[in-house]
Structure 1
């Protein structure tokens, strides 16, 4: 085994340029998720050629090509996938081993304002690779692909099938791309999702909801004694409540075993809108006010439970006034992302942690819950494929100057390679 570990490390060191080049190639493709549509096609077709050239079995299909997708209970309607293909590649096993898939998404969020560099022109500075999607999650995708190439070029053959996929539409609560692969039958014995966890092993993830909360009232000037109810004033009190609600929740922690020490549970106002924005000026208050909020939750919390907790808390804080206000209306903006978790005794959890710690000299590899929501629930809630989230070291996901740490990414390639070999089993090619 020591000889194998050294061979893997040497291969990674010798192929550093190829690892970085593939990430740069993918980042140079604009794959921004446009909510109802997307721009992933060019990058996906490029990637399919890379995987074909590796001799893998490659399947390219749009979610809409998959029979039964729209009838699945987890399908979220309203998206256009006609130009948004998934890519799934399989390294067939020799038989007798367990199967594994590395599941990544190709889409990115929009380029946030404040980038000091062109988001789609990757730049290396001080051992960091900058570019939109480097950290979330093209770096992790490339690490998983290079793990397969390492296995091939070391003359090894996995016993169980080893798969890598790049799906569309994960950002903004999409997840239909991930679902499509599951419905099509790509459901191996385990999954690793290379989301950016800073090489923490995460068998559990947050859930989350994005709602538009509508406040209504009446407007005008009280020249004749009219009672004016300005919805902006109510919305302002709601925002004050949310700030207190966030702090209170974060003091509590969450459920065992992955979230007991979790004190990161965001409640974020993402948009505030009121008044006629086309008018040159407004001389009276609006009749409606909209506040968009992103609220995360721990596993085992439903969408209705989360909404009720917020409404009950708001009512309790302003109980003297609440009944004089019009009822708040919550409108779902994207699908609810349920939190999910894998049983602690699932063997891949400990295996991935031990390998990560060994490769990184104990620097990384701790096991805890991920402080974000993602598409892991599509595996954990709707298939028999347990999914663990674990990916690169970096910073500024969904923010200006997103980047990943190159030396740690090379360690991640080692981790993925050794994990795949030990999980799937392997033999040496004759």
Structure 2
């Protein structure tokens, strides 16, 4: 084998530093995609590209074998207020790499790529392997991973790279955003006129606070509803005839997003409209060979409250990657060099000799 583990480690760490130096906000990932594409070609790999999405197939691809997918995202959120340094300038100090996208999810991108390069050199694999680095994850955009699923073809297992401390997120909550409107009638605030839409909205919000979905997940817990925005009224002396509010719903695997929407529509008097029902909860069985391998390696299974591209992948997936979710979207986001090294080794350990049906 031409590639040593140490070279894979050092290449990944250098690559991430260079990626941080290239702005890759959601919908504007073209420059970093081109940079990665050129780097892959320098390593004698043959990338495919659609829009700002890249992918590779292993050199010894054999039709008929199960297909495993490494997937993570190259887009970042906008930098939050409070950065000590320029978020697009990588800062290395005592084994800590600080920069926008270092933790979420650049470390996963480069660690998965290193593991792909390791397996790509092997003469024989019990599966086919794809590595993909995709766009628009942070906004669940239409031009991200879902736009290349037809090109990838059938996939049997996906490892979604997000900061999990390399523990196994065996389930992930879905996301349902609902726009609600309570409707009343205008009237003069000084007289007993009209129907105050704010009061109607408050009554519905209280119903949400009091309501508990009957089925609770042993891994993800209950469905969680949170009112996150509210707007009503145009002037102080007019009873408002409309009060709009937004409900953020985090669903478990006991319900589809459509079922949750129907239940809330029956519970509330306000008019409800779902922005999208496609980000459903997802998960992987505890007896899956990959989960068993992870447990053998000492990884901890857990349920993730955050949503990722896992929600839009129509096959069995697990979320696992270097870093800490608590650092994501925060000022001075960072990753440790040791976390990248450990991530590469763990990705290799998870897939080495893995047999899936």
Q: Which TM-score band (shorter chain)?
A: 0.7 to 0.9
Match for residue 100 of structure 1 among 58, 68, 74: 68
Shift of 1:140: 0.6
Is structure 2 residue 118 aligned with structure 1 residue 118? no
Q: Superposition pairs for residues 70-219 of structure 1, below 5 Å?
A: 85-93=52-60, 95=62, 98-124=66-92, 127-151=95-119, 156-159=122-125, 160-174=127-141, 177-219=144-186
Aligned residues: 353
Shift of 1:420: 3.3
Closer, same or farther in 2 for the Cα pair 1:283/1:264, shift >3 Å?
same
Shift of 1:375: 2.4
What's 2:270 paired with? 328
What's 2:188 paired with? 221
Closer, same or farther in 2 for the Cα pair 1:307/1:97, shift >3 Å?
closer
Of residues 292-301 and 369-378 in structure 1, the stretch that sits farther from structure 2 once superposed is 369-378
Q: Superposition pairs for residues 248-259 of structure 1, below 5 Å?
A: 254-255=216-217
Q: Superposition pairs for residues 25-424 of structure 1, below 5 Å?
A: 25-33=18-26, 38-62=27-51, 85-93=52-60, 95=62, 98-124=66-92, 127-151=95-119, 156-159=122-125, 160-174=127-141, 177-223=144-190, 225-243=191-209, 245=211, 254-255=216-217, 260-263=218-221, 266-276=224-234, 282-312=236-266, 315=268, 327-355=269-297, 357=298, 365-379=299-313, 381=314, 385-394=315-324, 395-423=326-354
> In structure 2, what is the Cα distance between the partners aligned to 1:263 and 1:299?
10
Is contact 2:220–2:252 with CA below 8 Å preserved after alignment?
no
Unaligned runs of 5+ in 1: 63-84, 316-326, 358-364, 426-430
Q: Quote the RMSD (CA, aligned, Å).
A: 3.2
What's 1:68 paired with? none
TM-score by length of 2: 0.84
Shift of 1:87: 0.6
Deviations 1:157-198 (A, max 9, x none): 442432210122222333653223221243343221112222
Say which SS state the counterpart of residue 153 (structure 2) adopts: coil
Say which SS state the counterpart of residue 137 (structure 1) adopts: helix
Unaligned runs of 5+ in 2: none
Closer, same or farther in 2 for the Cα pair 1:228/1:340, shift >3 Å?
same
Say which SS state the counterpart of residue 287 (structure 2) adopts: coil
Match for residue 23 of structure 1 among 9, 16, 20: 16
> In structure 1, what is the Cα distance between the partners aligned to 2:210 and 2:20?
39
